[in-house]
Structure formats: C-alpha cells, structure tokens
Amino acid sequence: MSKAVVFSTFGGPEVLETIEIEEPHAGAGEVRVRVKAAGVQPFDTAVRRGDVKGYVEVTFPQTVGNEFAGVIDEVGEGVTGLAVGDEIIAFTSMNACGELVTVSAENVAAKPPAMPWDEAGVLSVCGQTAHLALTALKVSAGDTVLIHGAAGGVGTMAVQLARAWGATVIGTASERNHDYLRELGAIPVAYGPGLADRVRTFAPQGVDAALDAASRDAIAPSVELVKDKERVGTIGDYMGARQHGVAMLGGTRTAERLAELAQLYVDGKLRIHIQKAYPLSEAAQAHRDVETGHVRGKVVLVAG
C-alpha cells in the first residue's frame, strides 16, 4: 500500500485526507517515482472546490497535484535513458501528492544535483507556465514588461525569465513584497487605483507587453499601457480576457522546457522561493495557504 492525498467530495480544504491506496506500478512507457516533494497550485484548489467541473475530469477519491520531484524506483517496459535511482523532476495531472507516483517517461527531466528537493518539487508548473506565457507575448531583449502578481509562484518565475531574456521588468505586488521584487531584478509598483500612472513613472511611453499572473483587476490597466493588445495576456482571468479581448495564455508542458528551466537554475539565473513546506498529512493547511492569494513564491508538500 501507498499513501496519497485525495478528496472524495468537492469543498474546502477540510475535504482533503491522506489515505492508503493500492501501490501503483509503472506501465509501458512509464516510470514509478518515490516522491520527495510536490508543489501546491491555485489550480489544485480550484479543482478541489469544484470550480472547474467539465474542464477537469474528477473521479472520487480524486488524487491531487501536478508537479513533483523524487527518485525513480521502477522503470516500465520500453523506457530508455532512465534508470532506478535517477533523481528527477516531473509533471503530471492531478496525481502528484503521494508517496509513489507513476508518470510518463516523456514528462521527466533530470534534477540538478545541487537543487534541494523542496525547490525541485515546485519548479515545473509555475516555471513552465511563465515560460509559455512570456513566449506567447513575444518577450525579448530590450522590451519593458509589466508582470502582475509578480511575487507569486508564476510571477516570481516570469520576472526572472524576462530578466534572463534581456527585458526590463515592472512588477506589481503588495508593498510588503517590494524588496523581494527588487532582489529578483524587477521595479516594484503597488496594486490598486492609479496603477497605470504609477507604471508610467518608470515607463512614460507605456510598456511593450503585460502578463497578468494575479487574475484580479489587472487587465484594464494593462490594455491602457500596452499599444498592441496581442501582447497582453492572462493565465487565469477568464472573464477579464473576454471583456477586454486579450489572450488566455497556456500551452503544452514539455520535458525539454523543464530541462531548460533546470539549467537556468544551475546557471544562477533562476531562484525558487519556498514560503512554507508541509508534510503530506497537512495538505489541507497547504491548500489554505495558497487560497489566501498572498503566497510569496511557492507552498510545497514534502516526504516525511
């Protein structure tokens, strides 16, 4: 048997429980991983609440989690290039928060030896989301980019990627996170009324692109500041995107993109901030933290 975090009805964090399940085994093209750390995402909490019914298929008891890191302990038929004992980072769909997880070998990248487990466990989703979003917005050297929610999980990654690609970054966040954004290389500005004017203090002619990673009251000032509406996008504000005619940003995660992010970490161009680490048994509290909307960086579940 193996432990996993599940929920058997939609609801608040209290519906999460850690139970014993049948031990999974690697099928053809898969590896089994003994999980060391798994990230907790706003998307995970939305699925648990039932906010995305019809978009995500849920079967009770439903496992949770979309990113993890650990050690391969079983290799399925047809898998090459991976072996028992390999330390890896991987991504999956609603199946990461458990002691043993099976995953397609195509969703796996090598963990850098110097990367701590808790940081490895939270790299994939926010890192790849930020990479996909900035790529879609055509961010490149010389651009000035506005990133909303810049101190959060996706925002933290987006700030650093944009800086690594040669862009100037203006990041919105609560004032308590402004020093943190300066450490990442961004120019911080506060949320709230008058945001566009505050941004113009640093970018009088406006900005070249804007990424909404906050999903609240960010699209309207972005459209005001960016000349080309095609370079404004959001990762979560569905209603705002429809209202203002801007892109919902997404895409397909790949092991190649994950490996690129891991290399940026090795090169010192990407840092990962962990706000809090919890054991699997405290998954409910991890979800509560994420649902506050005030997490700096990431929340992670770690093996006991």
**Residue 27 belongs to domain spanning:** 2-123+272-302
CA gap 103, 93 in Å, rounded: 9
Sign of torsion over alpha carbons 143, 293, 282, 102 = negative
Report pLDDT for 16: 98
Instruction: Judge whether 182 lies within some domain.
Output: yes
| Per-residue model confidence as pLDDT tens digits over 278-292 | 999 999 999 999 999
- 134 in the same domain as 118: no
- 162 in the same domain as 64: no
Q: How confident is the model at residue 54 (pLDDT cuts 50, 70, 90)?
A: confident
- 132 in the same domain as 92: no
Q: How confident is the model at residue 55 (pLDDT cuts 50, 70, 90)?
A: confident
Instruction: Judge whether 226 lies within some domain.
Output: yes
Sign of torsion over alpha carbons 63, 68, 74, 79 = positive
The CATH number given to whatever domain includes residue 179 is 3.40.50.720
- 117 in the same domain as 11: yes
- 285 in the same domain as 193: no
The CATH number given to whatever domain includes residue 92 is 3.90.180.10
Instruction: Judge whether 265 lies within some domain.
Output: no
| Per-residue model confidence as pLDDT tens digits over 82-140 | 999 999 999 999 999 999 999 999 999 999 999 999 999 999 999 999 999 999 999 99
- 89 in the same domain as 174: no
Q: Which amino acid is at 39?
A: G
- 136 in the same domain as 63: no
Instruction: Judge whether 69 lies within some domain.
Output: yes
Cβ-Cβ contacts under 8 Å for 28 (sequence gap 6 or more): 76, 77, 78
- 7 in the same domain as 118: yes
| Per-residue model confidence as pLDDT tens digits over 160-207 | 999 999 999 999 999 999 999 999 999 999 988 999 999 999 999 999
- 78 in the same domain as 18: yes
Instruction: Judge whether 255 lies within some domain.
Output: no
Instruction: Judge whether 159 lies within some domain.
Output: yes
State which of 232, 248, 264 marks the end of a domain: 248
Instruction: Judge whether 253 lies within some domain.
Output: no
Sort strands 16-21 and 2-7 into parallel, antiparallel or unpaired: antiparallel
Report pLDDT for 216: 79
- 113 in the same domain as 79: yes
Instruction: Judge whether 258 lies within some domain.
Output: no
| Per-residue model confidence as pLDDT tens digits over 219-277 | 999 999 999 999 999 998 889 999 999 999 999 999 999 999 999 999 999 999 999 99
Report pLDDT for 56: 86
pLDDT of residue 215 exceeding 80, the answer is no
- 244 in the same domain as 160: yes
- 192 in the same domain as 86: no
Exposed/middle/buried for 135, CB within 10 Å: 0-12, 13-18, 19+?
middle
Number of structural domains the chain divides into: 2
